[in-house]
Amino acid sequence: MAKWTEIGPVSDFAGADKTCVRISDKPLVICHLDDQWFCILNVCPHAGLPLGEGDLRGSILTCPFHGYTYNVKNGVNIDFPTEEPPVSTFAIKVDSDQVFVDLEPTN
């Protein structure tokens, strides 16, 4: 069962396709694509560096340090899907103009 943690009002994320936050000492990247919300760990599984500093194009986030690409919808490494681990993903929802995340990884 999900344990939802409030991370802020929708307006905090307006105008940005991704926003880096720290919730309960966990670094996260909140992605708002069209009308969908996604949440991943802000740590590249390849080298442990901040993934959220990278470029987001559509649902693909590129690590700014080594160029690895990850799908923010499911965490899969696009370049090496069977060789490299995915980035952790988290359930996210909007309720009454507030954004909530479940801090237990979904993958």
Q: In a 3-state reduction of DSSP, which class is residue 12?
A: helix
pLDDT tens-digit series, residues 28-65? 999 999 889 999 999 999 889 999 999 999 999 999 99
What pLDDT sits at residue 46?
A: 87
Summarize the confidence of residues 62-70 as an average pLDDT.
Answer: 95
**Domains held by the chain: number:** 1
**Residue 96: DSSP 8-state:** T
What pLDDT sits at residue 31?
A: 96
- Separation between Cα atoms, residue 8 and residue 89, nearest integer Å: 18
Min mean pLDDT across 13-17, 18-22, 72-76, 84-88 is at: 13-17
What pLDDT sits at residue 2?
A: 79
Tokens of 92: 């996210």
What pLDDT sits at residue 87?
A: 97
Q: DSSP readout, 49-65?
A: --GGGSEEETTEEE-TT
61 backbone dihedrals φ, ψ, rounded to 5°: -105, 125
pLDDT tens-digit series, residues 10-36? 999 888 899 999 999 999 999 999 889
56: domain CATH number is: 2.102.10.10
What pLDDT sits at residue 34?
A: 87
Nearest Cα to Cα of residue 42 among 56, 33, 57, 83:
56
Domain that holds residue 91: 4-105
